[in-house]
Structure 1
């Protein structure tokens, strides 16, 4: 394959993963990331099934991921008085291996920093396709020309907005929001529901997790004060320990609120620009995002190698492989399950965890998707 100069937007999981494979195939890779560095912490991400674990193994990081894994824990569902109602087992929400998103991002950055150029604290401002490639303007840095641009910058992708059009055309709000906040509270592993809202305590060592029903909200995702306000409005008047939790939220800066949404795209590529991970086939809290990102990174780079650098053929092959995975992953909406809209629906959901046959059936469905398909072998 001829040496391609490729720009990757996003240094989360998908970006460094595709950078790893592209550099192995001899490409000159630059990764640009808006944040000042690799972002620490975040929620746990998990992997299951032979294909996902095999990608980690072929990248040479599987054992290190196992070493850093968090080890999922059961969630004890309680009522307003703190009485135990049911238990959501760890295997329901986790995979065969689980790791904090920030830890995995840092690990992938470590494995690629020697072969790829990372530019933190900057973002793509404009894209213009020309005969010699894609001309890219940056918010801070000098402009450049690249053979290809990969948008691996999440469900709110800047690259998708510039190359495909406004976010509202492609991202569908699913009627719920989720939030993460690192709070100094006890009771780790306790989960409480009221109609349309859920709180799961993480304790001082892990982020507490929130899900609540809401139509689209206007707020700045990068403004902590506004995110605190959104949570306070959503949980005002709540029972159990919610008043205590809201007081804690008012005193911390580690708060993140975002919509549960789905990316719906007819094509993953336009010209010399291609989308990867959540930017192309995201389904927030769908349970397969990180695994899909790794599979997509492996496939995109492999198809480019197999096509000898012909991006048209490679992008078509990438879409052919990934579309069935993405289609199955986008069917769910975790919001109504985690925060059912009525007390009757909450009670019905809890029954799933009390009846082993129902629970096993749900686990089989998720496992069937995660273990489907085999990895294509690409040139080494």
Structure 2
């Protein structure tokens, strides 16, 4: 039986997978390139029966409801600050919305009793043998594990090492997104205020935890850009160039960007991997089937982690059987959720003035909002989760 499992990535899917593996008697180790858990970040949401069932079976749903944001309403304005469109909290917030950093902390703490965590390190080499996978690290001594799972996001290091270069799997969808923290100089509360010009969106919203802080969020249309993903100053320059000359609060937001100690900047993209495993190495979450924004990646990652661990337990560690059953169960569901991310850039920052007017006009109609919310819940609930604990109890009974 495969017992030792190395998981790359301590954000969402990684700790969720580690929790379930620990419950089933495996010995998970999570390696994370960051020095500590990543805090803050944008709000993420769960919606529909499947997401909530996975969280409830994991024992974290009550915890998340205690720290949920209550949703994040969005108000779109013109250059003079006059309201053009209002989207209610449930439009973006789903059934349970929490800050990404808070979610990561809850999952980490829940998994900690049965998991070894290694922070500030990363995998540099994977060599599969008949008995396991020999792993080399940037900092730690080499080790061997029975299995290795990449839960390290759209730009997965494990996928690059074991499956091939990122360009084979990640497709640019025509937009870039940036977010950073700044002082709440507008005195904003819950929710955000946004301003559009064709192909660009600039928004700012109050921090859910600290009234003195706010978070800027910007999206702009652009072909694939060449830049250093580890150079925030270069990324700040790209954002500043894309929004130069705009009115509303944009100049003050760009001033705050220059002083921001941290910046998230990435393309809006999607990952498509033909098969989610090769030998003893597998992928879960965004590494396998991700979308930068709008593809329900957080909920899908938690669901996929639940299924992968359950299938490994049912197969008594036989990775060939488990990987096949896991992918057969989750792939269609994940791809259905992922499609939402294809439209995110065009929704947030339509490319023409006519497109902006059409979006605002359509979304002022409450019946259309209700239909979109209903469809989102339907898409996120198109899979019936197996009850692995019951199946294991029967098979061992």
What's the TM-score once normalised by structure 2's chain length? 0.93
Q: Does 1:345 align with 2:355?
A: yes
Most deviating of 69-78 and 135-144: 69-78
- Match for residue 259 of structure 1? 267
Report if the CA contact (8 A) 1:45-1:101 is conserved: yes
Structure 2: distance between partners of 1:256 and 1:373: 32
Report if the CA contact (8 A) 2:216-2:253 is conserved: no
What's the TM-score once normalised by structure 1's chain length? 0.97
Q: Does 1:127 align with 2:122?
A: no
Structure 1: distance between partners of 2:129 and 2:145: 10
Shift of 1:206: 4.2
Report if the CA contact (8 A) 1:221-1:256 is conserved: no
Aligned ranges for residues 324-363 of structure 1 at < 5 Å?
A: 324-332=332-340, 333=342, 334-363=344-373
Report if the CA contact (8 A) 1:191-1:200 is conserved: yes
Q: Does 1:320 align with 2:328?
A: yes
Shift of 1:374: 1.5
Structure 2: distance between partners of 1:73 and 1:52: 19
- Match for residue 186 of structure 1? 186
Give CA-to-partner distance per residue, 1:148-175, whole Å, 9 cap, x none. Answer: 0000000000000000000000000000
Q: Does 1:294 align with 2:302?
A: yes
- Match for residue 249 of structure 1? 257
Equivalent pairs, count: 379
Report if the CA contact (8 A) 2:2-2:319 is conserved: no
Shift of 1:252: 1.4
Q: Does 1:201 align with 2:204?
A: yes
Structure 2: distance between partners of 1:3 and 1:214: 45
Shift of 1:58: 1.3
Partner SS, residue 205 of structure 2 = coil
- Match for residue 373 of structure 1? 383
Q: Where does the alignment leave 5 or more consecutive residues of structure 1 unmatched?
A: none
Give CA-to-partner distance per residue, 1:61-82, whole Å, 9 cap, x none. Answer: 1111111111113111100111
Partner SS, residue 127 of structure 2 = strand
Aligned ranges for residues 139-288 of structure 1 at < 5 Å?
A: 139-184=138-183, 185-186=185-186, 188=188, 189-203=192-206, 204-288=212-296
Shift of 1:102: 0.7
Supply the RMSD in Å over aligned alpha carbons.
Answer: 1.2
Shift of 1:86: 1.1
Structure 2: distance between partners of 1:64 and 1:360: 28
Structure 2: distance between partners of 1:243 and 1:206: 16
Cα distance change, pair 348–187 in 1 and its aligned pair in 2 (3 A)? farther
Shift of 1:373: 2.3
Aligned ranges for residues 14-33 of structure 1 at < 5 Å?
A: 14-33=13-32
Structure 2: distance between partners of 1:90 and 1:205: 20
